[in-house]
Structure formats: structure tokens, C-alpha cells
Amino acid sequence: MAYIQLKTAIPGPKSQALLARRAAAVSAALYQSVPVAVARAAGSLVEDVDGNVLLDLVGGIGVLAVGHTPESVSTALKAQAERYLHVCAIVANYEPYVDVCEQLNAITPGTFPKKTLLANGGAEAVENAVKLARAYTKKAGILCFEGAYHGRSNLTMALTSKYGLFKKGFGPFAPEIYRLPLPNLYRTPPGMTAEAYLDWSCHQLEHALIAQIDPSALAAIIIEPIVGEGGFIPVPAPFLQKIRQICDQHNVVMIADEVQCGFGRSGRLFAIEESGVVPDLIITAKSLAAGLPLSAVTGRQEILDAPHLGGVGSTYGGNPLACVAALEAIKLINRPETLAKARQIEARIRHTFEPLQAQIPSLGDVRGRGAMMALEFVTDPVSKEPWPDLVLAVIKKCAERGVLLLRAGLYSNCIRLLPALTIPDDQLQEGLAIIIEAITSTYEEMT
């Protein structure tokens, strides 16, 4: 059965009309990956305003782990909307907010007493985590890594890598931010083994505490266990373990940013669980609330309680609609069969694309974990020079054939795959077949 149904060219006439309205009304700085205007969506299928049915392998950039409009979430939203839409946790208490915090305290890594603070989006949660770490340690410095993406607010832009896309023209940025290289094993320096490169990277962590900042001034180290915008790079366990060791030794808060890689994406509820490392704070957002704006910082009680009364807050953070959506999403994701499906998705993607590397040497790397996979393209497998133009051409061709994709990577030369954890096998296979054909034909055209 073919799920993708194309009645017009992509974009169709109604999508083109709405694109023209967007161009006239919306900031030109807001990027749009595919020229489609959505009318409705369910599961992994999207219907555009022209009646075309397309397959969504972006999922709102990793937001829709449970797919579009899952029935239990929609039912919970309708029921909550009839009770009250907004209260503000600064003004009064309400049960959905407390329920979500209790759930996160229970399911996040670590057996120590925990608390949670809710916010709207990932950037706001990252800012809250930094504030909490600084209030707790009475120190200011924050250590982050190349390839990282932590948000677009001023502080989080300072933490974010990839200057040209996210930071150009927006400075000056918040101070007391220190950045180190991250061990990307695909780009192990020539002449080094992967083991030696990883050892060197761990050594650089220690070296930075002399060359860049003294531990007495370092409040936190923040890292994505699987780097997101930087190209879906799983951080090697020894590197995460080294960070944990340094934090324990020097009273530094270890912050795991799981905005994109959390909530089942990796095949575990949280990606950092794969390493055995327990962070002091864990940041969640995206798939937390099935598409509604909600983020959280969860961690050690003493850190969450460190600021003065009134020192944290958010007008909309923990909105009751977002909270009831999160409670349902957590139920759907935190099931053995859902987490197993993420691992099955990884196996299917690897089985599909790894053999293609022999035919298309420019497909340099197939990596990621679970339902968070990336294909990196290079002009040459030895020099590994990035090939972003091929990626853009493939994404365009896939959109024309009914598959929604998005690029990623420090060099914008990766295709990211973020299918819903609920995607049926035959839908995924249909989408992957179209991607293979698009890669193959584009590669032949461009070489």
C-alpha cells in the first residue's frame, strides 16, 4: 500500500499561494525546509492544503515522538480546555503542573531527591539550568562544546556553535562561556586512531581547567549526549564519564541537554543512560509534550532550590494544556514496546543506508541512535570535505516526491531522520525507498 498520495506538484497552487502570503507577512529570516503548507496531520502522515498526503520524517524537528495528533493527547487537551486554559504557576497552584514535575522527578536518571522547573521551550530551560547552576555553586563559568546547539536567546546563542547560521550579526553575547572540541569519531584526525583521539579529547577537558578557566570559577559543564544540530553525533561514553569525574572533583554541575535526544529518541528514555552517567540536571523539551510548548529542568533538589524565592519563573511555563499533553506523551513513550521501536527504526535505517556506502562513497557516515539518525555527505571519503549542496538537492527532490526532511550538521551536510516512534514499518520503508532513489539520482547528476 502506498501511503504517499500526490495530486499536484509540490508545492501545489494553494501551498504556493500561502507561501506568497508568508513571504509578504513573515520575517524573511525564518527558514522553511520544504515548500508545503499543512492542512491536517495524523501519525506520520501530513496532508497539505492541496490534498497531497506526505510522509513526515522530521516530526517538528524531533518534537513528535508520538506522531501527529495522537488520540489520547487530543482527548486530554479537549477535556482540559473545558476546565481552564491558563493560570500561571506564579499566581496559583494547579494539579497538571505538579503531576508533570512528579513524573519527571521519578523517571529521570538518578536516585537522589529531585525537583523540576517547567518552562516553554528548550532555550528557556537551558537558561534556567545555567541560572540554577550559578546560584548553587556561586560561580559563573560555563563550559560547552563545538557543534552544540542550546538555543537562540542571547545566553543560549553564546553556548551554541555554528556561528554563521545562528549567531552572525546578533552579538555581543553573554560572557563567561568557554568552548571545547567534541570527539566526533567520524572526523578523527589523520594519523590518529579513534582511541587515541578520544584519549586526547578527554585530556583536553583537564587541560581546559588550566588553559581556559580555573575550576574555582566554573559553575557547569553542559553537553548534549547526542549532539543534535551538530550532526547527530553520539558522544562517546568515556567522554561523558570524564565530564562526570571532573564535575564531582571540582563542585561543578553537570547538565545534560536532552531537548532533542530525550524521550525515547535513542531507544532509551534518556540518551545519557547509555553511558551510565547520571547528570546533576537534565533538560527536556520537544517530544515532552507531543507538540505543545513545554520544557523542563529536572535534577538534584538542592540545585533546584538554590535561587532566592521568586528568582525563577515563567508566565506561560507549565501551561495546563501543555502539561496534560505531556502526561499523556510520557505514558505513550515510557513503554518497553515504544523504546524497542526506536531501536528497530535504527536497525532499519542502518540496514537501508550502510550498504549504499559502497555504491555511493560520498555517503560518508550513517550514524545516530534509535530514531535519531543522520546521513553525512562528503565530496570525497578520504578528505571528508562536506557536500551541503548535494544534501539540499536531495531534500528538495524528496519533498517533490512526498517525503519531508531537514538538514543538520556543523557544515549543513547531513540529512536528519527523526521519524515518530509510532511510525508503521511499511510507511518508514516507503519513505526510505524514496530517499535512496533521491540520493542515487542526485549523486549521478552531480558527479
Q: What tens digit of pLDDT does each residue of 7-66 get? A: 999 999 999 999 999 999 999 999 999 999 999 999 999 999 999 999 999 999 999 999
- % pLDDT > 90, the chain: 99
Provide CB contacts within 8 A for 364, sequence distance 6+: 186, 357, 376, 377, 378, 381, 384
User: Grid coordinates in use for 392?
Assistant: 539540499
pLDDT band of residue 422 (cuts 50, 70, 90) is very high
pLDDT (0 to 100) of residue 219: 98
d(CA 108, CA 248): 19
How does DSSP classify residue 280?
A: S
User: Grid coordinates in use for 426?
Assistant: 511499511
The per-residue pLDDT of the chain, averaged, comes to 97
Residue 234: strand pairing partners: 226
Coil vs helix vs strand at 258: coil
pLDDT (0 to 100) of residue 192: 96
Q: Is the pLDDT of residue 164 over 90?
A: no
Instruction: Provide mean pLDDT across the span 260-287.
Output: 97
CA dihedral in degrees (352, 357, 363, 367; nearest 10)? Answer: 60
The owner of cell 521551550 is 121
Q: Is the pLDDT of residue 1 over 90?
A: no
pLDDT (0 to 100) of residue 228: 95
Instruction: Provide mean pLDDT across the span 71-87.
Output: 98
Instruction: Provide mean pLDDT across the span 349-375.
Output: 97
Closest among 85, 83, 119, 78 to 100, alpha carbons compared:
119
Instruction: Provide mean pLDDT across the span 184-202.
Output: 96
Read off φ and ψ for residue 157, nearest 5 degrees.
-65, -35
d(CA 388, CA 431): 21
Residue 26 CA to its chain's centroid (Å): 25
pLDDT band of residue 408 (cuts 50, 70, 90) is very high
CA dihedral in degrees (55, 60, 61, 64; nearest 10)? Answer: -90
pLDDT (0 to 100) of residue 80: 98
CA dihedral in degrees (119, 124, 127, 129; nearest 10)? Answer: 30
- % pLDDT > 70, the chain: 100
pLDDT band of residue 242 (cuts 50, 70, 90) is very high
